[in-house]
């Protein structure tokens, strides 16, 4: 064995030992909490890559927009404006341990090009209380201002990326968690958060009625929005495709989108 081989072997041995814990077991790699809106919907419900260009026939008017996360990196906002997108939601946070490193470019860039934009939080309800995650969201980009260009924050409720579908919570427990997040967000911003979800996930994990305060954002990759989650008589946003980027419709004319932004 020459000197180079001995050095390489020593490095490999040191790296291997560094992975062994005090109890003699290998340590798992740290979890990177960076899940895009709809990533688990596509995984569990399918159809995430379908391109849909039909306008919902029940809508009298629509406004088109997109949602982005760190997976898009620095977004070419003038391009998407040229494609007719007039609003955007940008991922800000996940749980209480992740912040989107591209948030400033995405959030400010969409605003600067003329879009009405908002921020969203990917919830992990088994990690910490709803109010705790709401605070983390507001403190890290999820706030709201009455400037006519900022939408209320959105709470992303979807399948657990790490385990059981409903994060180990009963329906009553999930009701409590969502209400705590919603109430805390309202207390901090004066706005009720939009709730992003799918009808399938909601029916499995939630039994509460949030339709009085929270606009609903439905994920369904199809030519129609379909059956809505429990108690909502109409949808506010519809995520209808993830190709070539997450694409959405606002259920109303542009002046209604401005009204939502203005509270």
Known catalytic residues are 67, 156, 158
Supply the DSSP symbol for 143: -
Q: Exposure of 36 by Cβ count < 10 A (0-12 exposed, 13-18 middle, 19+ buried)?
A: buried
Between CA 106 and CA 117 the distance in angstroms is: 10
Q: Classify each residue of 201-230 as buried b or exposed e, where b means 16 or more C-beta atoms within 10 Å of its C-beta.
A: bbeebbeeebbeebbbbbbbbeeebeebbe
Supply the DSSP symbol for 37: T
70, HSE (Cβ side, Cα atoms, 13 Å): 14
124 neighbors 159 (Cβ within 8 angstroms)? no
């Amino acid at each position: 064995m020459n000197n180079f081989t001995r050095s390489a072997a020593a490095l490999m041995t040191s790296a291997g030992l560094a992975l062994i814990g005090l109890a003699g077991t290998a340590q798992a790699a740290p979890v990177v909490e960076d899940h895009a809106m709809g990533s688990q919907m596509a995984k569990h419900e399918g159809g995430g890559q379908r391109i849909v260009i039909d306008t919902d026939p029940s809508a009298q008017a629509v406004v088109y927009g997109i949602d982005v996360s760190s997976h898009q990196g620095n977004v070419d906002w003038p391009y998407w404006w040229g494609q007719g997108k007039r609003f955007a939601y940008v991922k800000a946070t996940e749980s209480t341990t992740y912040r989107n490193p591209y948030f400033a470019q995405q959030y400010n860039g969409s605003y600067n090009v003329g879009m009405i934009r908002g921020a969203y939080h990917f919830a992990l309800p088994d990690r910490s209380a709803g109010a705790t995650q709401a605070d983390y969201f507001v403190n890290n980009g999820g706030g709201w201002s009455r400037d006519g260009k900022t939408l209320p924050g959105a709470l992303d409720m979807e399948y657990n990326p790490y385990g059981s579908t409903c994060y180990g919570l009963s329906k009553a427990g999930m009701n409590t968690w969502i209400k705590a997040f919603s109430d805390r967000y309202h207390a901090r911003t004066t706005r009720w958060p939009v709730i992003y979800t799918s009808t399938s996930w909601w029916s499995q994990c939630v039994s509460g009625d949030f339709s009085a305060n929270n606009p609903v954002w439905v994920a369904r990759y199809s030519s129609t929005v379909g059956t809505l989650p429990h108690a909502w008589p109409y949808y506010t946003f519809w995520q209808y495709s993830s190709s070539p980027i997450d694409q959405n419709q606002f259920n109303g004319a542009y002046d209604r989108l401005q009204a939502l932004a203005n509270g």
